[in-house]
Chain A
Amino acid sequence: MRFGSRIVNLLGILLVLALWQAAGAQLGDALLATPVQVARALVETVQTGAFWAALWQMLWKMMLGYALALVIGIPLGVAMGRVPVVNAIVKPWASMFIVISAAAIVPLFIILMGRGLVFSTAIVFVVTVWYVVVTMTEAARSVSPKLLNVARSFAANDFQRFRYVILPSLHPFIMIAARVGLVHALRAMITAEMFISAGFGGLLNDAGLDLSTAPLFALIVALMIISVSMTSALRWIAHRSAPWYASRTGDR
């Protein structure tokens, strides 16, 4: 079964690649580079020092804002889910900010903060934190009152109920929030860098000026690979640390 679906996956990918190849050959690489050209450009790109320097710069700066979003977003979301007053205060802001895309606020943030570390951290944080908050609010709401009662009937005190019931029920959702947040953080970081033409975003800008679209596609593919491997790593951690959840949802 699992093996069968893998094959279907693979066939789907091959089909798209074949179509892409045909379309690319038709249109020419100024419009649409073929997968073969992109692969070649990718191999070239990863051999340059500039690529790795830009990648490294982007990742560690992004991690700063992302970590901050988790550290603040998780407790804030949990508090919103469990304490009505907190929810009443924060909810309107959350629903307003969550619709703002990075591109809309970058110009303002550049005026306010310049183009340094504070700026990129702030952009990533502001875009990411609300996704974390919303996920954790729902998670905290879904903590089973029945199970809290069971713990209470075994004379568990407040701290024990938090440790034995609330925390384990939140755990899988923390991992989901981390995964969802990571994708948004990455997107926000790229957008910010494209505005200030620095790091990986700067490379994308430069590649966009090239006559061939192959280098641009190569960078985008590299970005996809990074994003997928990072979320896969998080998924793997989630399964290792909450096997009951993975097993229950049949998700491996």
Chain B
Amino acid sequence: MAHLSVSHVSKSFGGVQVLVDQCLDVREGEFVALLGPSGCGKSTLLQIINGLVPADGGKIVLGGKDITGKTGTGRGMVFQGADLFPWRTALENIAFGLEVVGVGKAERLERARHYLNLVGLRGFEDSWPHQLSGGMQQRVGIARAFCIQPTLLMMDEPFGALDVQTRDVLQDELVRIWEAEPKTVLFVTHGIEEALYLADRILVYSKRPARVLREITVPFARPRREDIKLDPQFLELRRDISDLLRHDLYA
């Protein structure tokens, strides 16, 4: 049984078709990266799965439950700009999802502390978001999503706004956390290397309306370490995908 199944989802904004009859199946525990040109509809697809944007048609099923158009229930989202609540400390931000579902204060803060430590922010419990660097804010954003222990984790270019070094570090952190608490992941990115490094499977989308140009099963065994980025097979796949996207853009 596919854990997440997206079937025949369509969406247009004021006559502009963004998604046409999209289908997507993700196995339980699978890490899927969505790659595609800017404006092709990746965020829209993610938001439809998250229930934030209503689809014009189609169905989303997660773990056998129809969740079309509903938010919550087993999904955690990491946003591009971290989007932390500025009036909550790091710890309170992480505990937000638990507060919404009514977990008591002592328990939710204890659970939040676990995730705060997990993303390496011990000692920053009481910092305000504006006192944290971009990378640290994104760690809080990741911890906030993990804290509700979702079965499906969605990430929309979570490292897009970070510098290269911070991004590399956070990619490794994400892998480490994900290996400690495996879950199904949908990961939107512009980074081909990032997708190859992190994902089990990559879906390469065309420009709008989005259509899967190619589906790539990433052949590298886990645990993966930094040096696979220099593997000849890694480099070849990277060039293939890059050519694919370029051709589509000028087609």
- Name A's B-contacting residues (CB within 8 A): 146-147, 149-156, 160, 164-165, 168-169, 171, 242-245, 247-248
Contact = CB atoms under 8 A, between A and B. Distances in A.
A164 B100 contact: yes
Contacts of A244: 86-88, 128, 130
28 contacts: A146-B83, A147-B83, A147-B85, A149-B83, A150-B77, A150-B79, A150-B83, A152-B52, A153-B50, A154-B71, A154-B96, A154-B100, A155-B71, A155-B72, A156-B100, A160-B100, A164-B99, A164-B100, A165-B85, A169-B87, A242-B87, A243-B128, A244-B86, A244-B88, A244-B130, A245-B86, A247-B128, A247-B130
A244 B90 CA distance: 12
B75 to A, nearest CB: 8
Contacts of A169: 87
Interface in B69-123: 71-73, 75, 77, 79, 81, 83, 85-88, 96-97, 99-101
B131 interface: yes
Interface of B: 50-52, 71-73, 75, 77, 79, 81, 83, 85-88, 96-97, 99-101, 128, 130-131, 148
A237 to B, nearest CB: 16
B100 A248 contact: no
B46 to A, nearest CB: 10
A166 to B, nearest CB: 11
Contacts, number: 61
Given A154-B100, A244-B88, A248-B86, 10 more contacts: A146-B81, A147-B83, A152-B52, A155-B72, A164-B99, A168-B85, A244-B86, A244-B128, A247-B130, A248-B128
Contacts of A147: 83, 85
A164 B83 contact: no
B131 A171 contact: no
A52 B96 CA distance: 50
**Residue of B51, B75, B100, B148 with highest tally of chain A CB at under 10 A:** B100
Contacts of A171: 87
Nearest to B82: A150
A101 to B, nearest CB: 36
A176 to B, nearest CB: 15
B101 A155 contact: yes
A176 B237 CA distance: 57
